[in-house]
Amino acid sequence: ILNIVTAVKSLTHGSLTLFDPSLSGKDNQKFDSTTLASKITSDLSLDNLLHGIYVAENITEALGMQSKLNAKESIITKDGIWFGSGWLRVAYDTNNQKAGILQRERELQEINTNITQKQSHCFMQEQELEQKQNVLIDLEQEHQKLQQELHALTAKYSDVQSQATAKQTYLQHIEERAQVLKNEIEIHEKNLCSERGQLDEALTKRDEAVRQKSANDSQRQTLVQDREQVQQKLVTVREHTQQVQQDASNFAMRLQLIQTQVDHLAQNLERANKQLDSLKERQIGIEKSIVEAQAPLPSLEKELQLELEQRLLAETDLTSAKQKITSIEQELRELEQKHSECQETNEQIRISLERSRTQREGLQVRSVTYKEQVAELELQLDDLNTTIPEDAVISASEEKLTHLMSRIERLGLINLAAIEEFEKLQERKNYLDAQNQDLVGALNTLEEVIRKIDHDTKERFKDAYDSINQRFQELFPHIFNGGKAYLEQTADNLLETGVVIMAQPPGKRNSNIHLLSGGEKALTAIALVFSIFHLNPAPFCMLDEVDAPLDDVNVTRFCNLVKEMSKTIQFIFVTHNKLTMEISEQLLGITMQEAGVSRIVAVDIDTAISLAGAEV
């Protein structure tokens, strides 16, 4: 036995089966040990399959129990070694998935134990992490509050600093504006000097142009050139004069604007003096600069007046020169008109001569061409003259010839590829005919499908309409305890018809559903909805405050209808009516004890009734 145990323990892979024919099982011997069936938990009944199989801890224990086994009994160890009454089987095949089941089970148990430990450890770490996250959230909230306070203080500091900077910038702007005004005044003085020089130069050029005009009256071309130069110079002088006038007006407007700005700046400086005492010295300096800027204004106005007087004198001289130039231009226009008339006469004569010469040459060319054509046709002119009728007109013959030539031109050149083009077009026509036939066939098929759909739609609509109408006629009197109601079609065509609801509660002869009261309309709508619901019923039905417009009597009718239909359908309804709540089996109430926090209160009606009865 020790040799067998040692050999089995040394076996690492493969399978081994040993038989001992000398041993025979003992029948009817009672064997008291743990069975394999007691170790297995399953929903299936395994007693028949595992009957007679016992469990041992190791090989030594199994060998000790082997002598007590009956013929149909066996023992299996935790290592997967299977003993019988006269046999032994060992399987250590690593490639066999069925080998070492118990060993794998132990490993799985160990893995599950490790997993449980790891999960508990993870749970503890998650709790610790959650605590640290809560602490971190508190710290972040405190940091956020401190950050907000810092932002508020920073914003307040920025506002104060921006106000101080704005005031300082405003004062700097005032100083810069005063300097700019001073610079503009200097620039305007320089512009006036330069414009005065340009005006003198223009007057000098005008005098020179007048002298040149009087000296060159005999030369027409020279006079025209002088006239153009004088006109250009006049335009230049006018532009300079207009510019001077515009600059003068702009200067006057700027002076007025400067005065207004000075007054405004004085007011601002007074307000700034009251607010900021430290700025008094700068205010005095600005006022002095403004006074200095206003000092040269009277002298500038005098110079402007002198310039205007000189401009008037220049305009007077220009007017006289313009009159002289106008008279000269009139004489030139008369001479040019006579010259153009002579040129027109010569041109007409030349055109007429040219036309006559062209006609003569054309006739000569045509004569030569006709002679060549007659020679090519091998005809004689005398014979042709005899064939021409005496009353023949050349224009008629030419018109007939032109007509024939135009017809020949319309025919165009001979198209050698016309046959090939005809074959291509014929092939294209055949292809289009086939496509047309396919389209016609598809259209016929589509029309047939549409007719079938219309037919099926009519049948289904008719069946649904009849079913709903019949159920509506039965349900309406049941709700109202009398009366009648039905559905009526507005047209004979089922595809285009509408449906009208005709309802007459007991004791009323109304001709329109709009004559019913609000509660009667609601009950009629409920009857119609339940009739439609009966056509295609669902496991449950949801009603949202259907009983809101109903009085107590109609609510009772509605509750009776819901009770009757609840035998086959589960109803979920939202209501504020106590009578409707009484028929429910389960109540779910939504309450808001705290602002913005909703809570659900569930009540089982049957349980509540039983508890109330027990308390009584």
Q: Kind of pairing, strands 484-489 and 499-504?
A: antiparallel
Phi, psi of 573 (to 5 degrees): -130, 150
Torsion of CA 188, 194, 195, 196, to 10 degrees: 110
Query: Going from the N-terminus, what domains does the chain have, and what CATH number goes with each?
Result: 2-99 (3.30.70), 181-344 (no CATH), 428-536 (3.40.50.300)
Q: Is residue 18 within 8 Å of 87, Cβ to Cβ? A: yes
Identity of the amino acid at 572: I
Query: How far is it, in rounded angstroms, from Cα 72 to Cα 25?
Result: 8
Give the burial string for 556-569 (b: 16+ CB within 10 Å, else e).
Answer: ebbbebbeebeeee
Q: Which tokens belong to 404?
A: 């024939």
- Spatial CA neighbour of 16 closest among 96, 94, 97, 82: 82
Query: How far is it, in rounded angstroms, from Cα 84 to Cα 17?
Result: 11
Residue whose tokens read 């008291």: 32
- Longest pairwise C-alpha distance within the chain: 169
Task: Output the CA torsion sign for 9, 14, 15, 16.
Answer: negative
pLDDT of residue 448: 93
Phi, psi of 499 (to 5 degrees): -125, 130
Residues 6+ apart with CB under 8 A from 307: 192, 196, 199, 244, 248
What's the predicted TM-score (pTM) here?
0.33
Torsion of CA 529, 533, 534, 538, to 10 degrees: -150
pLDDT of residue 436: 92
Residues 435-491: tens digit of each pLDDT = 999 999 999 999 999 999 999 999 999 999 999 999 989 888 888 888 888 888 888
CA atoms within 13 A on the CB side of 546: 25
Query: How far is it, in rounded angstroms, from Cα 476 to Cα 113?
Result: 69
Query: How far is it, in rounded angstroms, from Cα 312 to Cα 193?
Result: 18
- 3-class SS of residue 341: helix
Give the burial string for 525-541 (b: 16+ CB within 10 Å, else e).
Answer: ebbbebbeebeeeeeeb
CA atoms within 13 A on the CB side of 453: 6
pLDDT of residue 1: 47
What residues of the chain score a pLDDT lower than 50?
Answer: 1-2, 94-99
Query: How far is it, in rounded angstroms, from Cα 509 to Cα 488?
Result: 17
- Spatial CA neighbour of 84 closest among 39, 34, 25, 37: 25
- Over its C-alpha atoms, the chain yields an Rg (Å, rounded) of 62
Q: Which tokens belong to 586?
A: 């389960």
